Structures are given as C-alpha cells and as structure tokens.
C-alpha cells in the first residue's frame, strides 16, 4: 500500500512539475483565484450557438470554449440549446458590419456575452480573445471589442528538414515527425495548432526554405495532408517550400526552366495533385538563386518568371506564392546589402497577383539591429511581406533572453517616408500605403521538441509577440510583454510580473550593446554564427566577412554606405538618405551601418567614438548582470524548476555578454591602438586568446590559425 501511495505521489508530483514547466505555453488555462472568479466571471454559465450550421472550426471552437472555461472557472460550462442567463452566445452573421472575414465583435450586456463574426474562424478568434482575457484575470463586464487582423497571411516559417534537424533551431528537433506520419499523429500537433490559433497565426510552412524536393512526392503529400487535417479546425493552412529544381529531381525532366512547357505542365500536375489531397493548401514559399539554391536565373530568367510559373496553376485554388527576396550570391559583383533591391525593384508590376515577395526586416540578415530593408516602400505594385526571425540565430541562440517584440516594433515603426512622413513599414505590409490586395507576414519559428517548445522559457514570449504583431502590427511591445507575463506567471504577483516585464523590455537593447553596438553588424563567428568573431576576414571566404563590414583600422571604423562608398544608402527614399546619410543626424544606433567614423570623432554623448564603443559594450554587460540580479530576487515567487532554468540561462547570458565585450574590445583595441578610457577595465587577454575560444567551426570551414 505504502508503495502505491508513494508511486501515486511521485506521478502526481511529476505532473505538477511538468504542468508548470511550460508545455502549455501561454495557454495553461488552470483554475483562477476564487475571489477573481467570484467578482468577475461568476455569471458565466453556458454557451449558446445561435447559428446552427456546424462546421469543423465551429465545432472545435465550442470544444475550446467549454473545456477551457470549465477549467479556468472551476465549474462545468456546457453548450445549451435554450436561451438562459449567463450565456456566451456565438453568432455567425455574414453581413456583420465593420469586421473582416476573420474578425469578431465581443460585447457584454446584462450578464451575457456575445461573440459575433462573419465566419466560424472569426468566432474561433473571438473565443480565444475571451478565454485569454479571462486567463489574465482582466475585466470583461461591459466590454465592447471589435477586432480584425490587419494582415491577411500570418505565417510561421519552419526551417525544419525532413530528417527532423532544424536549420538554426535551438530547441531540439523538429516537431514534425515525417517518418511516422501519416499513420501516427503526435498529440503535440494539435497543441501546437491551438497555441498558434490562440494568437491569430493562420498558416505554417512546414519545411525548410533550403528545400528538399521529396516533400512534393506523393507519399510526403499524404503526410502533409494528415497535418493539414489537424490544423484546419484551428483555422491554420499548411504551406510547403518548393525546390525550384523539383521537375528535374522528382519529374526526371532535363530542365527546370520556368518558360519550358513541360516544366510548367509538371508543376501544374503537381499542384493539381496537392489540392486533391489538401483542398485548402496555402501555397508555396520559395528560396531561389540564393546561397546556392536553384532558381530561374539558372536559365537566364528572372524572379517574376519563376514565381509566376507557380502562381498560375495555384491561382484557381486560391493558393499563393511567397517568393523570398533574401537573395545574394558571392558570384555577383555587387555589395550584399544592395543585391535584393537591384534584382527585385525593376520587376515591380511583373508579378502575378497571387505572389507576395517576402523581405527580411533588414538588408543583411537578421542582425541584432538592422535598419529597415530599403525594398519596403520601393515596390508599390508588388505586395511585400515582412520576414522576421523568431529563432535567435544572431542573438544568443538558445540561451539568451532577448524580448524580440522590441526589435519587431522598431522595424514596424521605422519610417520609409515613401508616401510622406509616417509611412511606416507597418503601413507598407498591412497594405494601406500602396493598397496591396494581399498582405502577409512571416516569422522563422523557434519551436522544437524541447518540453516547453522553445528551450528558453522566455523564447515563448517571442513566438507570442510574433502572433500578436502579425494580427496588429501597431501594438505596443510593452503591452505584449505584459500580456505574455500575465498568461505565463499565473500567480500575478506584482513583483514577479514587474521583473518579467523588465527583462523582456530591456534585453534587446542589452543584447545589441554587448554584441553589436553603434551599428556594428555581422561580426559574429562564421558558420554557426555563435559568439564573437570580429576578426573573421577574407582569408577563407572571398567576401562579406566581419572585417568587410567594420573595416576597422588605426584611424576609423564603420561601413561607408554613402556615395563615397557602396552607395547602398541611395536605395532609400531621399528623406531617409538625408537622415542616415548625415553623420550628425544619423542615429547612433545605425551609425556604423552607414558611416566610416574616425575613432576620435565626438558623438552626441560627449564621448568620442572609441570611448562610446567601450561604454556601450560595458553597458551591455552591466545590463546582462542586472537581468540576473533581478531574476534572483523572485526566487520565492516562481516554481522551482522554472526559476532554476531561467536563472541558469541568465548565468550563461551574463558570461557570454562578457565574452562578446572582451573579445570585441580586445580586437578593436588592436586596431585603434587607443588606450582604454579611465575607469574602464581592459579585456584580460589578447585577441589571440579570444580567437581560440571560438566554438568549433562548421564542417568545411577551416579556421585561420
Ligand atoms: O540567415 C541565413 C541563415 C541560413 C538561412 C538563410 C535564409 C535557411 O544563416 O541558415 O537558410 O539565412 O534565410 O535563407
């Protein structure tokens, strides 16, 4: 008997522990505090569906509402057939005014709540809106909300390979188990879909942009169809990456030339086959002629030729092509910053109307801080979608806590000036600036088989933030942090909430300071991109290395993007050129992106450039230390395992912040040869020491020493 009790206790304690270790993400809908229920939500008794026409999404919405409200409120909330008091009424009204197809209104009057939408998907989002509000213990009496997503296609991009490795993934293996599909459907697929739906994400690209043609093979399409069947009831469409050379690799053709009739026929047949299996298939994401991937340029055709070939047969099914603008090649004799703009902008107006061009937030590659990509605003006739990275390839990867919503907000609020002051990137991608008929946003996922999906608990906040900003790119990052914190730390302790919000709010700036202050960029180690590598130069890579980007010598540092240099600045609107191109008006944050600056040049702070660089690196380390101190102070308020995991990651972050600071300053000092400012501490070692500290290089890249 004793053993049985013990075994039971053990199992129970495991469940408790797991339950609190983040598997349920921000949707851990456990029973609320009894007082909160009594004062705010006691009136809720049941659910009435005033419109009887059921479909998969509506059925699922009912389940989501009954299960989760029952759990949050600690009583049984059922679907009723008759009108009663204390009901949540769901109504589909095709003619509802002022809401979009996925939008909803939520109103409450006299102890009743009404969710109205044009479609069942709108009701699903309305249901989650309500559940999440209750979960955060927010007031719902007398509310009147009308919400519609501002962007149509809100899509996660998984860089997941079919062998389950994840390119730039730091949270375990891919959650998609291609081997076991379609027979075995891991329950996690449904949990993943629910988490996405709860924040408004409505699409997922299952496979890596560095694509494998096999995903288009019949047996793999069956696997994709199984996932599509699970995701559909959550309003989520599936997409695949299309390898441009698939007609050769799978179809046995001699060419993949987009103007070749046989190639076109192959794609048409393939697309017909896909829609037979997946009637609501979303379409393709394509990386072509970039980093060695095949593409239309292999046949002297352009990006529009390639995209339109796929778009044509997709069109009759309502499918779209997301054609990536992240193109650069070492063979092209042009600065990397400028290549995408030069290849795409002349094609404006030539893409089919179901093509979106997907542009990374900045001109280089997901650096800790980049100016916005100059293509935003430059293609009024081509819908541009924004690609953000949620996985932190260049921002400390799996370990560092960096509240990415701040970075996303910075990009979305950047002013392109193309239609006058205030034409922000948000206004480009939500279609208002150029009246795009189709809109989209993508986030490169940070999700893996880690128990809590993201490894670092705070990585969940980045996934959450992406969903919220995809729904409404004008949201304030701080409010997003507050929501996530309230949903994640359900005891609502003020001190804990303040600390969580503080960490999220200050960590991006801290990370930029200890990695790439003052507009430094691309100074990481090569290959895996982890840790500092400002010394990486062209000895084993022809171009575009750290040294190319900072060009530090005895006199100056920075990249001249003005007419005196690469003239990349000319790709921006004249007003932006004026702002960034003038040494005095260029914000310090972007300084070395656009200017070569003498070490002794005085900055706004009164310090010269060298002093400011040292100051910023130090500031980054100080902040990283402060992050850990703040977290230490909430030990008694957080479940033990969660506390320990976050703390240990912060220890790593602090250590690595110091590593970045010391390595970069040792290196830059070896260039500037200036003394460290009084009161600052010189790095304890010579550059050589830090070079050797680098992580092992990726296969195929030989270290220099
Ligand atoms: O950021 C770089 C990454 C590659 C990635 C590429 C891309 C999927 O280092 O791993 O490939 O960008 O976005 O295509």
Predicted local confidence at residue 19, as pLDDT: 39
CA atoms of 73 and 37, how far apart (whole Å): 6
Q: How far is the CA of 210 from the centre of ligand 1 (A)?
A: 8
The preferred substitution site among 169, 205, 288, 326 for testing ligand 1, maximizing ligand atoms within 8 Å of CB, is 326
Q: Could you give the angle at which helices 494-515 and 404-412 cross, rounded to 10 degrees?
A: 70
CA atoms of 398 and 31, how far apart (whole Å): 31
Cα angle 551, 508, 339 (rounded to 5 degrees) comes to: 45
CA atoms of 454 and 169, how far apart (whole Å): 9
Q: What is the SS3 assignment for 205?
A: strand
Predicted local confidence at residue 329, as pLDDT: 78
Ligand 1 atom nearest 366 alpha carbon: 1
What are the E-state strand segments in 597-640? Answer: 597-598
Q: Decide: 492 and 486 in contact? Cβ < 8 Å.
A: yes
The preferred substitution site among 165, 170, 210 for testing ligand 1, maximizing ligand atoms within 8 Å of CB, is 210
Nearest protein Cα to ligand 1, atom 1: 365
Q: How far is the CA of 656 from the centre of ligand 1 (A)?
A: 23
Q: Decide: 471 and 149 in contact? Cβ < 8 Å.
A: yes
Ligand 1 atom nearest 159 alpha carbon: 8
Q: How many helices (H) and strands (E) does the chain have?
A: 21, 16
Q: How far is the CA of 59 from the centre of ligand 1 (A)?
A: 39
Ligand 1 atom nearest 529 alpha carbon: 9
Which H helix or E strand runs over 587?
Answer: none
**Dihedral in degrees, nearest 10, Cα atoms 391, 394, 395, 400:** 70
Q: How far is the CA of 87 from the centre of ligand 1 (A)?
A: 49
Q: Which residues are catalytic?
A: 291, 365, 393
Predicted local confidence at residue 20, as pLDDT: 54
User: Which residues, in sequence order, are CB contacts of 646 under 8 Å at separation 6+?
Assistant: 401, 456, 457, 458, 631, 638
Q: Decide: 288 and 324 in contact? Cβ < 8 Å.
A: yes
CA atoms of 314 and 306, how far apart (whole Å): 13
Nearest protein Cα to ligand 1, atom 13: 326
Report CA-CA distances (Å) from 681 to 407, 520, 560, 612, 617: 30, 21, 30, 14, 11
Neighbours of 483 (CB within 10 A): 22
- 3-state SS, 378-409, equals CCCCCCEEEEEECCCCCCCCCCCCCCHHHHHH
Which H helix or E strand runs over 300?
Answer: none
Q: What are phi and psi of 556, to 5 degrees?
A: -145, 180
Q: What are phi and psi of 106, to 5 degrees?
A: -130, 120
Predicted local confidence at residue 157, as pLDDT: 98
pLDDT per residue as tens digits for the range 171-190: 999 999 999 999 999 999 99
Q: How far is the CA of 394 from the centre of ligand 1 (A)?
A: 11
Burial class (CB in 10 A: 0-12, 13-18, 19+), 507: buried
Residues with CB under 6 A from ligand 1: 159, 167-168, 209-210, 287, 291, 326, 365-366, 393
Q: What is the SS3 assignment for 209?
A: coil
Nearest protein Cα to ligand 1, atom 12: 365
Predicted local confidence at residue 696, as pLDDT: 66
Ligand 1 atom nearest 208 alpha carbon: 8
Neighbours of 603 (CB within 10 A): 18
Q: Decide: 201 and 282 in contact? Cβ < 8 Å.
A: no
What are the E-state strand segments in 26-173? Answer: 46-49, 78-80, 87-92, 104-109, 112-117, 144-147, 153-157
The preferred substitution site among 165, 166, 168, 367 for testing ligand 1, maximizing ligand atoms within 8 Å of CB, is 168
Cα angle 287, 291, 297 (rounded to 5 degrees) comes to: 65
Q: Which residues pair with 628 in a beta bridge?
A: none
The preferred substitution site among 241, 322, 330, 365 for testing ligand 1, maximizing ligand atoms within 8 Å of CB, is 365
Ligand 1 atom nearest 360 alpha carbon: 13
Q: How far is the CA of 433 from the centre of ligand 1 (A)?
A: 29
Q: Decide: 513 and 617 in contact? Cβ < 8 Å.
A: yes
CA atoms of 460 and 446, how far apart (whole Å): 8
pTM for this model (two decimals): 0.96
Ligand 1 atom nearest 444 alpha carbon: 13
Q: How far is the CA of 205 from the centre of ligand 1 (A)?
A: 15
Q: What are phi and psi of 383, to 5 degrees?
A: -60, 125
The preferred substitution site among 158, 167, 368 for testing ligand 1, maximizing ligand atoms within 8 Å of CB, is 167
Q: Which domains does the chain show, CATH number per domain?
A: 25-147 (3.30.379.10), 153-475 (3.20.20.80), 512-559+596-693 (3.90.1330.10)
Predicted local confidence at residue 440, as pLDDT: 99
Ligand 1 atom nearest 365 alpha carbon: 1
Q: How far is the CA of 209 from the centre of ligand 1 (A)?
A: 8
Q: Which residues pair with 90 in a beta bridge?
A: 49, 115
User: Which residues, in sequence order, are CB contacts of 289 under 8 Å at separation 6+?
Assistant: 295, 296, 297, 298, 303, 327, 329
Ligand 1 atom nearest 394 alpha carbon: 1
Predicted local confidence at residue 18, as pLDDT: 33
Return the exposure string of 264-292: e unless at least 16 CB atoms fall within 10 Å of the residue's CB, then b: bebbeebbeebbeebeebbbbbbbbbbee
Predicted local confidence at residue 697, as pLDDT: 53
Nearest protein Cα to ligand 1, atom 3: 168
Nearest protein Cα to ligand 1, atom 2: 365
Q: How far is the CA of 532 from the centre of ligand 1 (A)?
A: 18
pLDDT per residue as tens digits for the range 627-668: 999 999 999 999 999 999 999 999 999 999 999 999 999 999
Which H helix or E strand runs over 440?
Answer: strand 440-444
Q: How far is the CA of 24 from the centre of ligand 1 (A)?
A: 29
Return the exposure string of 90-129: e unless at least 16 CB atoms fall within 10 Å of the residue's CB, then b: bbbeeebeebbebbbbbebeeebbbbbbbbbbbbbbbbbb
Nearest protein Cα to ligand 1, atom 7: 326
The dihedral through the CA atoms of 389, 390, 392, 395 has a sign that is positive
CA atoms of 582 and 471, how far apart (whole Å): 36
> Long-range CB contacts (< 8 A, 24+ apart) of 327-335?
327/288, 327/289, 327/290, 327/303, 328/290, 328/291, 329/289, 329/290, 329/291, 330/542, 330/543, 330/544, 335/566, 335/568
Question: pLDDT below 70 — which residues of the chain?
Answer: 1-20, 538-543, 696-705
């Amino acid at each position: 008997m004793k053993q049985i009790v013990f075994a039971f206790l053990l199992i129970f304690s495991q469940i408790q522990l797991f339950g609190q270790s983040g598997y349920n993400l921000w949707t851990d809908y456990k029973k609320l505090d009894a007082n909160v229920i009594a004062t705010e939500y006691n009136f809720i008794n049941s659910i009435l569906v005033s419109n009887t026409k059921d479909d998969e999404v509506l059925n699922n919405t009912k389940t989501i509402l009954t299960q989760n409200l029952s759990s949050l409120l600690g009583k049984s909330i059922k679907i009723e057939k008759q009108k009663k008091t204390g009901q949540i009424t769901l109504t589909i009204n095709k003619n509802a005014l002022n809401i979009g197809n996925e939008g909803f209104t939520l109103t409450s009057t006299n102890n009743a709540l009404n969710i109205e939408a044009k479609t069942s998907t709108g009701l699903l989002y309305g249901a989650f809106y309500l559940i999440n509000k209750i979960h955060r213990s927010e007031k719902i009496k007398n509310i009147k909300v009308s919400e519609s997503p501002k962007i149509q296609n809100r899509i996660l991009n998984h860089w997941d390979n079919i062998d389950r490795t994840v390119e730039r993934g730091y949270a375990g293996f891919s959650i998609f188990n291609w081997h076991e599909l379609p027979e075995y459907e891991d329950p996690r697929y449904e949990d993943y879909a629910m988490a996405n739906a709860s924040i408004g994400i409505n699409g997922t690209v299952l496979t890596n942009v560095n694509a494998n043609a096999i995903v288009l093979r019949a047996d793999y399409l069956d696997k994709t169809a199984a996932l599509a069947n699970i995701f559909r009831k959550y309003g989520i469409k599936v997409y695949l990456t299309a390898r441009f050379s698939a007609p050769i690799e799978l179809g046995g053709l001699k060419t993949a030339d987009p103007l070749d009739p046989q190639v076109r026929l192959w794609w048409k047949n393939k697309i017909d086959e896909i829609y037979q299996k997946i009637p609501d298939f979303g379409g393709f994401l394509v990386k072509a002629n970039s980093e060695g991937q095949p593409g239309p340029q292999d046949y002297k055709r352009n990006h529009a030729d390639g995209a339109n070939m796929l778009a044509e047969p997709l069109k009759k099914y309502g499918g779209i092509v997301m054609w990536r603008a992240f193109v650069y090649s070492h063979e092209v004799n042009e600065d990397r910053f400028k290549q995408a703009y030069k290849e795409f902008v002349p094609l404006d107006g030539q893409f089919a109307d179901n093509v979106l061009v997907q542009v990374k937030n900045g001109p280089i590659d997901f650096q800790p801080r980049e100016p916005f990509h100059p293509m935003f605003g430059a293609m009024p006739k081509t819908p541009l979608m924004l690609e953000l990275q949620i996985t932190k390839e260049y921002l400390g990867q799996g370990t560092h806590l960096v509240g990415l919503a701040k970075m996303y907000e910075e990009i979305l609020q950047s002013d392109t000036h193309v239609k006058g002051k205030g034409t922000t990137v948000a206004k480009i991608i939500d279609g208002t600036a150029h009246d795009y008929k189709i809109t989209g946003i993508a986030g490169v996922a940070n999700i893996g088989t880690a128990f809590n999906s993201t490894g670092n608990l705070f990585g969940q906040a980045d996934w959450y933030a992406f969903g919220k900003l995809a729904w409404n790119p004008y949201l304030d990052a701080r409010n997003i942090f507050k929501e996530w914190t309230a949903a994640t730390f359900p005891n609502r302790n003020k001190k804990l909430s303040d600390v969580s919000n503080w960490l999220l709010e200050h960590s991006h700036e801290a990370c930029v300071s200890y990695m790439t202050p003052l507009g430094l960029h691309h100074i990481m180690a090569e290959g895996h991109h982890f840790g500092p590598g400002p010394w990486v130069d062209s000895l084993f890579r022809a171009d575009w290395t750290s040294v190319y980007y900072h060009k530090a010598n005895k006199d100056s540092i920075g990249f001249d993007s003005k007419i005196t240099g690469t003239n990349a600045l000319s790709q921006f609107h004249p007003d932006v050129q004026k702002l960034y191109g003038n040494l005095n008006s260029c914000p310090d944050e972007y300084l070395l992106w656009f200017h070569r600056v003498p070490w002794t040049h005085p900055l706004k702070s009164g310090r010269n450039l060298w002093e400011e660089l040292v100051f910023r690196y130090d500031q980054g380390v100080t902040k990283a230390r402060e992050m850990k101190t703040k977290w230490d102070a909430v030990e008694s308020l957080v479940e033990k395992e969660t506390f320990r995991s976050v703390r240990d990651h912060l220890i790593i972050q602090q250590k690595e912040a110091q590593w970045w600071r010391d390595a970069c300053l040792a290196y830059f000092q070896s260039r500037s040869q200036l003394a460290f400012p009084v009161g600052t501490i010189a790095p304890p070692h010579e550059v050589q020491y830090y070079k050797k500290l680098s992580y092992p290089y990726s296969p195929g890249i030989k270290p220099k020493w």
